[in-house]
Amino acid sequence: MAAQRPLGEEEWIWLHGLPATRPARIASDLLSDREDPAAVGQIVAEALHEGFDYAGRFTDELAPHAAHFGLRRGDGVAVLGWLLDLLGDPSASGYINDARAHAASSATVQPRAAPERPRGRHGA
């Protein structure tokens, strides 16, 4: 691992009594370490499909990597879309819509809303 950064409160959870890093943070760390984007995309897709993390959280975590991949600086939605497109994920448009809604709501000052439900099997 090239660099370590501290985990924020929203970047980990308790899972079966053990602390676990959220998939969005793991994906961001792997991109920071210059791992294969297709492999990272696979992790992202599986986490979204299984409902282990949210499109909006991926948007936030992936935003710092946008410029590295030739995308508009800070555009986490574009990074998420690009990673899912690498896999040809048929569910990508739904996750991108969720990510755009998250980005739009984050751009306006609002009271903190209830967390969005995952779109995967576990959140149905």
Per-residue pLDDT tens digits for 89-105? 999 999 999 999 999 99
What does the pLDDT read at residue 102? 94
- Indicate if the pLDDT at residue 68 is higher than 80: yes
Torsional sign, CA 46, 49, 53, 54? positive
Average pLDDT over residues 61-71: 97
How far from the centroid of its chain's Cα atoms is residue 101's Cα?
14
What does the pLDDT read at residue 121? 57
- Which residue type is seen at 84? L
Alpha-carbon distance of 51 to 112, in angstroms, equals 21
Average pLDDT over residues 19-27: 94
Alpha-carbon distance of 103 to 3, in angstroms, equals 27
- Indicate if the pLDDT at residue 1 is higher than 70: no
Buried b (16+ CB within 10 A) or exposed e, 81-117: bbbbebeebeebeebbebbbebbeeeeeeeeeeeeee
What does the pLDDT read at residue 109? 47
Residue 3: how many other CB atoms lie within 10 Å: 7
Least confident of 6-15, 65-74, 88-97: 6-15
Place 15 in a pLDDT band, splitting at 50, 70 and 90: confident
- Indicate if the pLDDT at residue 74 is higher than 90: yes
Is 0.85 surpassed by the pTM of this model?
Answer: no
